[in-house]
Amino acid sequence: MEMEDKHMARRKVAAGNWKMNKTPSEAVKLCEEMKPLVESDSVDVIYCVPAIDIVPVVQAVKGTNVKVGAENMYIEDNGAFTGEISADMILDAGAEYVIIGHSERREYFSEDDDFLNKKVKKALEKGLKPILCCGESLEQREMGVTMDWIRFQIKSDLTGVTADQVKSMVIAYEPIWAIGTGKTATTEQAEEVCKGIRDCICEIYDQATAEAVRIQYGGSVNAGNAAELFAQGDIDGGLVGGASLKADFGKIVNY
Ligand code: PEP
């Protein structure tokens, strides 16, 4: 009962990852279309958008329940890092969250856990809330090393991060084989790993921190599977790619 109360105390969080989609004008149009669909008093709604869309999207969602996040950031405050954006830039543009360690960044941009740990610490130091992604490949799942791998990612990425900082974060469990493939993890698989992540946080920090941190599932979440996934004790919402660009996202928010 006590655990159930604590689960209820964590607000669900539905975050859209727009990836490299939507020009600024398309982004504003999507925000207008989605406005009535994503209204919710009980679920936190976040649009994580391309850097160039942050300012117009912040403007477009003003006065609504929608928060804005970036999809990436660099580890330095400023300087000769052509093409990068800093935590201060993201904050000044009006965003509150930043996705760190998405598997597409890990794979296509060779971001390793040492680098991601620096990003997590920089984001937190500046007051941005990281949505930290972790997840195993199909090969790792078939080899039976899923939880070992996830624990390695969590421990590496959170090195030097305090319990209070972790409480403000969102962790997204995203099995790589389920991202953009239409192949969702089963509810049992998703819950098992999200619970494993919470246990890992409890080991590194303490029970209170583990109970406070919000852990999402991501990987082909859609209007049809969100309710069952989000009903699990350790799944506090979803990180949603493809379906976040459609009216479906409203159904996911109001699962
Ligand atoms: C993602 O990009 O984080 C994601 C989960 O994508 P999709 O929902 O399209 O699988």
Give 81's contacts (C-beta < 8 A, 6+ positions apart).
Answer: 74
Q: What is the mean pLDDT of residues 60-75?
A: 98
Residue 102 annotated among the catalytic residues of the structure: yes
Closest CA to ligand 1's atom 3: 241
Q: What is the mean pLDDT of residues 71-76?
A: 98
Q: Which atom of ligand 1 is nearest to the CA of 238?
A: 5
Q: What is the mean pLDDT of the chain?
A: 96
The DSSP H or E segment spanning 141 is: helix 138-143
pLDDT at residue 7 is higher than 80: no
Residue pair 153/197 in contact by the 8 Å Cβ criterion: no
Closest CA to ligand 1's atom 7: 241
Give the Cα separation of 57 and 73 in Å (integer): 17
pLDDT at 38: 97
Query: pTM of whole model > 0.85?
Result: yes
Closest CA to ligand 1's atom 4: 241
Among 71, 104, 136, 174, the active-site one is 174
The Å distance, Cα 234 to ligand 1 centre, comes to 19
pLDDT in tens, 178-219: 998 988 899 999 999 999 999 999 999 999 999 999 999 999
Give the Cα separation of 93 and 148 in Å (integer): 38
pLDDT at residue 1 is higher than 50: no
Beta strands in 50-128, from DSSP E residues, in sequence order: 66-70, 97-100
Provide residues with CB under 6 Å of ligand 1: 17, 19, 174, 179-180, 218-221, 239-243
pLDDT at residue 3 is higher than 50: no
Give 152's contacts (C-beta < 8 A, 6+ positions apart).
Answer: 113
Residue 4 annotated among the catalytic residues of the structure: no
Among 102, 104, 136, 191, the active-site one is 102
φ/ψ of 93, rounded to 5, equals -75, -10
Site to probe by mutation for ligand 1, drawn from 240, 244, 245, 248 as the one with most ligand atoms within 8 Å of Cβ, is 240
Q: What is the mean pLDDT of residues 135-162?
A: 98
Q: Which atom of ligand 1 is nearest to the CA of 102?
A: 3
Closest CA to ligand 1's atom 1: 241
pLDDT in tens, 208-250: 999 999 999 999 999 999 999 999 999 999 999 999 999 999 9
The Å distance, Cα 206 to ligand 1 centre, comes to 30
Give the rounded distance of the alpha carbon of 178 from its chain centre.
Answer: 15
Percent of the chain beyond pLDDT 90?
Answer: 95
Q: What is the mean pLDDT of residues 154-175?
A: 98
What is the 8-class DSSP label of residue 170?
E
230: amino acid identity, one letter: F
Give the Cα separation of 213 and 210 in Å (integer): 6
Q: What is the mean pLDDT of residues 51-62?
A: 98
pLDDT at residue 4 is higher than 90: no
Q: Which atom of ligand 1 is nearest to the CA of 19?
A: 2
Helix, strand, or coil (residue 93): coil
Q: What is the mean pLDDT of residues 73-86?
A: 98
Token pair 């946080």 is at which residue? Answer: 201
Residue from 121, 220, 142, 235 nearest 180 by CA: 220
